[in-house]
Amino acid sequence: MHKKILLLGSGELGKELVIALKRLGQTVIAVDSYAGAPAMQVADGFEVADMLNGEQLDAIVAKHQPDLIVPEIEAIRTERLYAYEQQHIQVVPSARAANFTMNRKLIRDLASKELGLQTAKYFYAISFESFKKAVSEIGLPCVVKPLMSSSGKGQSVLKNLDDQQQVWDYAITNSRGDIQEVIIESFISFHTEITLLTVTQKNGLTLFCPPIGHRQERGDYQESWQPVAISEKDYNDACDMAQKVTSALTGAGIWGVEFFLTDNGVYFSELSPRPHDTGMVTLAGTQNLSQFVLHARAILGLPIPTIQLERAGASVVILANKTAETFSITGLEKALLQPNTDVRIFGKPSTRPYRRMGVALINGTADADINELREKAKAAAACISIT
């Protein structure tokens, strides 16, 4: 088996996926908007392009004639993916999935209106006036997000009516693509946020990884841990919802399905049709197969006999705090003195405030105290400085 794979988006998740695919003998061409992106450093070739430019995207596909196209980010002219499927190119997981999940309106309406999943109350707004009306209907606090964005960009919690203009402007300014619209959601009082990594197969049952707990700031992942405390009922409900939504979107691959755990049950939040940032914790050896190996096998149609928890683990991100083209990373020696600790430095060529530059990973026995592991992962991350 040998496939040529076009990877659209070449960040740290894409880098680990390329490594998994190369270990299975595949050829990967990495695409991103800037040279030197992490996945480009390990791929067979690369292209620098604006993937929101349909003509540039068409030209790259025509040049490389891939067997598979694997989107790794949101900022893609996703409607072009339908045409590539008609050219008998496999889009991962499918053109339908990529289109729906790149736009919060499509995925939320599918989950809530068509599939009947429990979600937060929500409205959309295309103008500041309609935004204010939606806020009055939802009430405070409420969560505001662009319909198209990534890594928490443009997302905020509105707690004071005096901040409406600021929150609206922040969401619109950070919208990706040409969609200038926001979603306003009621704030869910949750005790835990989880990611349920879900694997759909070409030939085989839908599989679920042990749930991952995570904490966000500014709408972006800061730490994750596996396993997470969850009742059997909540776990079964989450699996049922994940299976419904992935079946409706179609295709094979790994999906990061996010849920809120509350005293009133499980609420569907969002979904990504690719490896999930919170799933970086699987690089700590928590599962028999990392999320990247699972994705590689699923998209190639290779068997996945079982997914099982082998260790408890935690991950904590390493962030930059300034914008710079040149920088140094120090503290690896100190971080790695702690047993069962590992570090991934992503290799991004520049920094900016809150940009993820690496991740600290730690594991323990399957029954280890997860809070102790979280603290150790935080300590390891704190050892590393970006100057």
Asked about 150 being catalytic, the answer comes back as yes
Q: Catalytic pick from 12, 74, 181, 277?
A: 277
pLDDT tens sequence for the chain (387 residues): 899 999 999 999 999 999 999 999 999 999 999 999 999 999 999 999 999 999 999 999 999 999 999 999 888 898 999 999 999 999 999 999 999 988 888 999 999 999 999 999 999 999 999 999 999 999 999 999 998 776 668 899 999 999 999 999 999 998 876 678 999 999 999 999 999 999 999 999 999 999 999 999 887 899 999 999 999 999 999 999 999 999 999 999 999 999 999 999 999 999 999 999 999 999 999 999 999 999 999 999 999 999 999 999 999 999 999 999 999 999 999 999 999 999 999 999 999 999 999 999 999 999 999 999 999 999 999 999 999
Q: What is the pLDDT of residue 150?
A: 67
Q: Catalytic pick from 152, 265, 301, 347?
A: 152
Strand order in the sheet with 68-71: 45-48, 27-32, 4-8, 68-71, 90-91
In angstroms, the Cα distances linking 378 to 83, 98, 124, 318, 384 are 45, 34, 37, 9, 10
Asked about 387 being catalytic, the answer comes back as no
Q: Catalytic pick from 44, 67, 163, 270?
A: 270
> In this structure, what token pair is assigned to residue 48?
């620098």
Considering the domain delimited by 4-91, tell me its CATH architecture.
3-Layer(aba) Sandwich (3.40)
Do you find a cis peptide bond into 38, omega within 30 degrees of 0? no
Q: Catalytic pick from 108, 253, 258, 364?
A: 258
Task: Tell the CATH topology of 192-386.
Answer: D-amino Acid Aminotransferase; Chain A, domain 1 (3.30.470)
Asked about 265 being catalytic, the answer comes back as no
Q: Catalytic pick from 10, 150, 156, 198?
A: 150
Domain ranges across the chain: 4-91, 121-186, 192-386
Identify each DSSP E strand in 33-160 by its residue range.
45-48, 68-71, 90-91, 122-125, 142-146, 156-158
CB of 273 closer than 8 Å to CB of 93: yes
CA dihedral 301, 288, 273, 10 (to 10 degrees): -90
Give residue 72's Cα distance to chain centre: 9
Asked about 270 being catalytic, the answer comes back as yes
Q: Catalytic pick from 278, 282, 315, 341?
A: 278
Q: What is the pLDDT of residue 151?
A: 63
String of b and e for 200-226 (b: at least 16 CB within 10 Å)?
A: bbeeeeebbbbbbbbebeebbbbbbbb
Q: What is the pLDDT of residue 219?
A: 76
Provide the CATH number for the domain formed by 121-186 in this structure.
3.30.1490.20
Asked about 278 being catalytic, the answer comes back as yes
* The pairing of beta strand 207-208 with beta strand 192-200: antiparallel
This prediction has a pTM of 0.94
How many angstroms separate the CA atoms of 162 and 159, rounded?
Answer: 9
Asked about 258 being catalytic, the answer comes back as yes
Question: Which amino acid belongs to residue 42?
Answer: V
Asked about 237 being catalytic, the answer comes back as no
Q: Catalytic pick from 356, 358, 364, 374?
A: 356
